[in-house]
Amino acid sequence: MLRPLAPFLCLALAAQPTPYQKAPKAIQTVLDAPGTPALIASPAGDRVLLAEVERHPSIKDLAQPMARLAGLRLNLRARGPHTPQRLKALALQDLKGGPAKPIALPPGAALGQPRWSPDGTYFVMTGTTADATELWVGEAATGKLRRIKGLKLNAVLGNPLDWMADGSLIAKAVPTGQGPAPKAPEVPAGPRIQENAGKAAPAPTYQDLLQNAFDETLFEFLGQSQLVRVNLATGALKPLGKPGLYADVQPSPDGRMLLVARLQRPFSYLVPASQFPVREEVWDRAGALVHTAADLPLAEGLPLEGVRTGPRRLQWRPTEPATLAWVEALDGGDPRQKAEFRDRVLTQAAPFKAEPTELVRLKARLMGLEWGERGDLAVVREYERERRWVRTWLLDPAKPGSARLAFDLSSNDRYRAPGTFAQRILPNGQAALRQQGDVLFLTGAGATPTGDRPFLDRFDPRSLKAERIFQCGEGVYEATVALLPEGRFITRRESPTEAPNYVLHEKETRTLTAFGDPLPELRKIRKQLVKYTRPDGVALSFTMYLPPDYKAGERRPAVVWAYPLEFTDAATAGQVSGSTNRFTTIGGMSHLFFLLSGYVVLDGATMPVVGDPKTVNDTFLDQVVASAKAAIDKADELGVIDPKRVGVGGHSYGAFMTANLLAHSKLFKAGIARSGAYNRTLTPFGFQSERRTLWEAPDMYLKVSPFMHANKFNAPILLIHGEADNNQGTFPIQSERLYMALKGNGQTVRYITLPHESHGYIARESVEHTLWEMIRWFNKHLR
């Protein structure tokens, strides 16, 4: 007897995958618009490159085979990162005048960000093809590109290129004659066994780790590099030493030695490659071993927020022929251990026979070490975790123990932040702090109660006084992007009505570029900084965006988009960040696209969590609920929103916040949570800045986990997660389990997973579908 086909046809139709949805046409137009290219100035100060990056590869690109090994995501055939950066356009501009000259990019190769040679004669780029990572060289005089023949780079363990003192390159190459990659066994040889002999070894929730013996073999195969010296003028290649797992290679300032970081077995299934055993060796130009600077064991079981013992951050002093500098922990690498000093900085000159010289001891953990270009100055920064405090010291390397305190402030204090010391590339290829006589240069955001006003300062290390050279004016946003010889500098200038362009500041100020407005329709969007106060007195703010078609007096549905941050005091928690004077652009999966659907957007609504760093999360829920209510009340007071039609959203920790707001308040009609973590028992050794473990603060971990309150959600929630999320703590299972919990408790929830996407979503198809889901969700529940 023949059975009816209809039931089977229905099953077949139901099994069809859901196709990617297109975003509304207005959003597609915005996504298609060109962006402002990045400016990369030549060290010679005579030319700049203008590089525009492809923002959204296709899902086909993301779907290419990927090896996930030792915390890395790799393209097996090209021997590099799985999704490398790709240039969309490149141009060369002479600073003497004239328009930028477009550079023709080679077909079939995805070029990465260009890097100038120390003398500005060449610029180099990696080029990823279907089966190799190539080296491409550009000539500054003509802009002509050429490929170095016979060279396949190996970018598996990071940057494969660095400059030698004579202008040649040292490169990590795929060893010739290595043969095919090993194949996974069809049948496992046995079980995978891990064991601990009673030693505490807490670890963050790393992803993409080695899983078995085959993974170890494949990682070792893919990571093997042959060091090669490349003559850019002739294309000649000269191998150095034998192949190995070279994580980093640093040429000495005099070009006669190499500092080589070589990974060794045993590998780990618990930590990424950066914590594998590493041997730091000094070689001569022929590749022969001269000195072993460090031989560090596997770093499993580091204390939480701790560091390795032994030499770390090994580097050359850029102005000495061959002097190594490094840092060593004095507290066993454990921030919980009481110690008068936590770190010390040491140096040792070739031939490395004399005892190392101690330059300075630090009471807190070192977070930065930089050297002046004249050789008589070092800048050392330390971070005190107990207070979230940063101190910056200046010292003369020739006078150990001579450190003077330059800056001393909270890491959260944006208003007092002195800025960052500017660097330059020296003729020997080394990076050093830019100096003009005794003077250093500082660039900073220039945060003020009315918004950021970027600045450029001269800083005298003798008097510790800063002199302002430039500061962004009123009504615009202008920031320094490049410092040039002879006191010249380049800024990027924009305003709410003026597209970003680059400006050269010399004797006379001159605009270098003339980029127009690609999206005049977005100029109808209005925005303003809005400040208000939480009931406990903490100052808050958001940037209020009004949609292009908004009319005075209307009350529109609104979107609150936020990300909570921790602070030790209310004063810094209330400081304003960002600027309303920037040119409005929208890209990627931005929540600002809600403006094109008629919503008011309260962007960056501050959600400070203030308190003792040891216990601040005990009041996380109370503080974010109070902050959210204050934001809605303020927007309601302004008369622009309907307080009964407000949605909330966030990404990552903002998604965690969103789910908690829906579970612990009735402020919102719906929520959108992207790539979040919702069950803190799955991150038991801490999260964000939380220092306690699950076993030390079980009540808090359960209290702030939205998963534990799935029966109490007060509004529908849209969950979106990349299926390949590799961010610490935000395994895709976080969203999967929350969805199942919400569904099991009868809540209204929709759950979207995006194939091949990581923590952020980049494929054009994924971005459009995400925006389609977000707008559809709020249209359904807020309209």
Number of DSSP helices (H) and strands (E) in the chain, helices first: 10, 49
Residue 503, burial from CB neighbour count under 10 angstroms (0-12, 13-18, 19+): middle
DSSP, residue by residue, 427-445: TTS-EEE-EETTEEEEEE-
* The two structure tokens encoding residue 446: 């220039």
Crossing angle (nearest 10°) for helices 764-782 and 25-32: 140
Active-site annotation holder among 651, 725, 769, 781: 725
Active-site annotation holder among 117, 627, 652, 675: 652
Q: Are 343 and 334 in contact (CB under 8 A)?
A: no
- Tokens 């990823």 map to which residue? 128
Distance CA 617, CA 298 (A): 33
Distance CA 361, CA 642 (A): 57
Our answer to whether residue 759 is catalytic in this structure is: yes
CA-CA-CA-CA torsion sign (672, 566, 730, 128):
positive
Distance CA 340, CA 431 (A): 32
Phi, psi of 213 (to 5 degrees): -65, -35
Distance CA 490, CA 649 (A): 37
Question: 770: part of which helix (H) or strand (E)?
Answer: helix 764-782
Q: Are 134 and 151 in contact (CB under 8 A)?
A: yes
∠414-420-426 over CA atoms, to 5°? Answer: 170
What is the Cα Rg of the chain in Å? 28
Give the 3-state secondary structure of residue 753. strand
Q: Are 149 and 129 in contact (CB under 8 A)?
A: no
Between strands 556-561 and 539-546, the pairing is unpaired
- Tokens 């008011």 map to which residue? 600
Question: 636: part of which helix (H) or strand (E)?
Answer: helix 620-638
Cα 635 off chain centre by: 32
Our answer to whether residue 725 is catalytic in this structure is: yes
First-residue to last-residue Cα distance in the chain: 53
Going by C-alpha positions, the residue among 289, 340, 280 that lies closest to residue 308 is 280
∠768-773-774 over CA atoms, to 5°? Answer: 100
∠396-401-407 over CA atoms, to 5°? Answer: 70
Q: Are 492 and 39 in contact (CB under 8 A)?
A: yes
Residue type, 552: A
CA-CA-CA-CA torsion sign (87, 93, 95, 99):
negative
Q: Are 351 and 291 in contact (CB under 8 A)?
A: yes
Q: Are 739 and 634 in contact (CB under 8 A)?
A: no
CB neighbour list of residue 740: distance below 8 Å, 6 or more residues apart: none
Residue 162, burial from CB neighbour count under 10 angstroms (0-12, 13-18, 19+): middle
Crossing angle (nearest 10°) for helices 653-664 and 620-638: 80
DSSP, residue by residue, 489-544: EEEEEEETTEEEEEEEESSS-EE------S-GGGGG-EEEEEEEE-TTS-EEEEEE
Question: What's the Cα-to-Cα distance from 10 to each of 4, 14, 19, 51, 223, rounded to whole Å?
Answer: 11, 6, 18, 51, 49
Q: How many CB atoms lie within 10 A of CB 506?
A: 13
Distance CA 310, CA 304 (A): 17
Active site residues: 652, 725, 759
